[in-house]
Chain A
Amino acid sequence: MKYVRQVATVAMKDVRAELRTKEAINASLAFALMILLLFSYTFDPEQEMMRQVSGGLLWIVFAFAGTLTLNRSFARELPNDCLDALIAAPIPGSALFLGKCFASFVLVLAVELVSLPVFGIFYRVHWTPQFPALFGVLLLGTWALTIIGTIFSALTVNIKLREVMLPMLTYPILMPALMSAMRLTTSLVNGQPIPEDDFAWLKMLIGFDVVFTAVSLALVETVLVG
Chain B
Amino acid sequence: MSELPRLEVLQGTLDLLILKTLDSLGAQHGYGIARRIEQVSADVLSLNQGTLYPALLRLEQQGFITSEWGVSDNNRKARFYALTRSGRARLTAEIGNWRRMTAAVEGIIGAPSGARA
Q: Do A and B bind each other?
A: no
